[in-house]
């Protein structure tokens, strides 16, 4: 009997200790959270979300810019935004990448932008007059290819600078160009960095990645500005005169399609199939009516036809008015 009582006491104590242990665990979960001192989270989720928004706009701008510059379709998309240590970042990057090192003055430290060789070889081939064919086998860049790579990196970083200027006034400067992240050291191995990964599609047949690395010390002083609320508020701010002039300067060399419509008419499909060289179509417009001038497919002006040095031309007479255009058909 005494032995049974002893065993029951022992069992009771073990149950109580288990119960007390479970209470401690629950209290620990409620009042505390686990913290990894070797890899602390320095960027809040809202900060990473804001950086994703900034660079989503950047990816759209650089897609349009490179498409026009290379005369072939380029599509850039943000794939992910992560925070990890600099050592983990370097080890996760493929060796065949060209890396641009630059600064955002007055922010401290240096920022890295890397682009895979497949995409870069495709772009360089296009810049040299080729069709934009990619080379999968990595080779060291020649002096000419290095010069062209620096030009592309400069275009990308300048566009990135413009995307950041709407949030924080910065001025970019290119520090250098290197082959691979493994030979670049812009932060301590254990320092936390924000890594943005982009997918680049060139000419609908070549795919590659680009990586943008912000060490934490670079953004430490401006983290309060990197919130979704701050970005939303700054989007409605009216641009300054300098910003408008800068925008106009960038738009000035843009190519635009201009067409003058001499008139319209309606015919049946049967009449269309019977058309041949020398046939005359009677237009609905009269000879004394103004022509309509379209800019990139949008009606913008009224004009009159004429000749200038034996060349057919039109003279702009007024800005297009949709109501006037509709009413003149009833005159």
Which of 251, 268, 288 marks a domain boundary? 251
Residue 26: inside a domain: no
Which of 251, 286, 320 marks a domain boundary? 251
Residues 142, 123, single domain; the answer is yes
Residue 30: inside a domain: no
Residues 159, 193, single domain; the answer is yes
* Secondary structure string (H, E, C) spanning the chain: CHHHHHHHHHHHHHHHHHHHHHHHHHHHHHHCCCCCCCCCCCCCHHHHHHHHHHHHHHHHHHHHHHHHHHCCCEEEEEEEEEEEEHHHHHHHCCCCEEEEEEEEECCCCCEEEEEEHHHHHHHHHHHCCCCCCCCCCCCCCCHHHHHHHHHHHHHHHHHHHHHHHCCCCCEEEEEEEEECHHHCCCCCCCCEEEEEEEEEEECCCEEEEEEEEEEHHHHHHHHHHCCHHHHHHHCCCCCCHHHHHHHHHHHCCCCCCEEEECCCCCCCHHHHHCCCCCCCCCCCCCCCCCEEEEECCEEEEEEEEEEECCEEEEEEEEECCHHHHHHHHHC
- For the domain that residue 165 is a member of, what is the CATH number? 3.40.1550.10
Residue 20: inside a domain: no
Which of 225, 251, 277 marks a domain boundary? 251
- For the domain that residue 262 is a member of, what is the CATH number? 2.30.330.10
Residues 52, 133, single domain; the answer is yes
Residues 56, 157, single domain; the answer is yes
Q: What's the domain range around 291?
A: 258-330
Residue 155: inside a domain: yes
Per-position pLDDT tens, the chain of length 331: 444 544 444 444 444 444 344 444 444 444 555 555 555 567 888 888 888 888 888 898 899 888 888 888 889 999 999 899 999 999 988 878 889 999 999 888 899 999 988 888 888 888 888 887 777 777 778 888 888 999 999 999 999 988 887 778 888 999 988 888 888 888 888 899 999 999 999 887 888 899 999 999 988 888 877 776 655 555 544 456 776 777 778 778 878 889 988 888 888 999 889 899 989 888 877 777 888 899 888 899 999 888 888 888 989 998 988 877 777 665 5
Residues 194, 241, single domain; the answer is yes
Residues 59, 128, single domain; the answer is yes
Q: Has this prediction a pTM greater than 0.75?
A: no
Residues 273, 184, single domain; the answer is no
Number of domains in the chain: 2
Residues 210, 245, single domain; the answer is yes
pLDDT for 198 equals: 94
Residues 227, 268, single domain; the answer is no
What does the pLDDT look like over 8-37, one tens digit per residue? 444 444 444 443 444 444 444 445 555 555
């Amino acid at each position: 009997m005494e032995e049974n009582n002893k065993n029951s006491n022992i069992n009771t104590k073990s149950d109580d200790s288990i119960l007390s242990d479970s209470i401690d665990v629950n209290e620990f979960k409620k009042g505390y959270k686990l913290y990894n001192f070797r890899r602390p989270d320095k960027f809040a989720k809202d900060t990473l979300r804001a950086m994703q928004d900034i660079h989503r706009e950047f990816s759209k701008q650089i897609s349009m810019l490179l498409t026009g510059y290379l005369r072939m379709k380029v599509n850039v998309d943000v794939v992910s935004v992560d925070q990890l240590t600099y050592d983990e970042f370097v080890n996760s990057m493929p060796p065949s990448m060209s890396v641009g090192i630059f600064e955002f003055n007055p922010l401290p430290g240096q920022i890295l932008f890397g682009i895979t060789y497949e995409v870069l070889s495709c772009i360089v081939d296009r810049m040299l007059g080729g069709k934009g064919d990619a080379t999968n086998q990595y080779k060291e860049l020649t002096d000419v290819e290095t010069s062209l790579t620096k030009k592309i990196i400069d275009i990308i970083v300048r566009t990135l600078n413009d995307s950041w200027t709407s949030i924080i006034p910065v001025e970019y400067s290119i520090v250098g160009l290197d082959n691979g992240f493994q030979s670049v050291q812009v932060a301590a191995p254990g320092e936390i960095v924000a890594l943005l990964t982009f997918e680049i599609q060139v000419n609908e047949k070549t795919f590659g990645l680009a990586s943008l690395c912000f060490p934490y010390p670079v953004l430490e002083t401006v983290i309060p500005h990197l919130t979704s609320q701050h970005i939303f508020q700054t989007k409605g701010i009216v641009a300054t005169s300098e910003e408008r002039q800068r925008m106009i300067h960038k738009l000035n060399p843009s190519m635009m399609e201009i067409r003058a419509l001499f008139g319209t008419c309606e015919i049946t499909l049967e009449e269309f199939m019977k058309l041949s060289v020398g046939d005359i179509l009677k237009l609905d417009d009269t000879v004394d009516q103004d022509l309509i001038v379209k800019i990139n497919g949008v009606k913008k002006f009224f004009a009159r036809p004429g000749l200038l040095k034996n060349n057919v031309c039109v003279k702009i007479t007024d800005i297009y008015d949709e109501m006037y255009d509709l009413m003149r058909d009833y005159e």
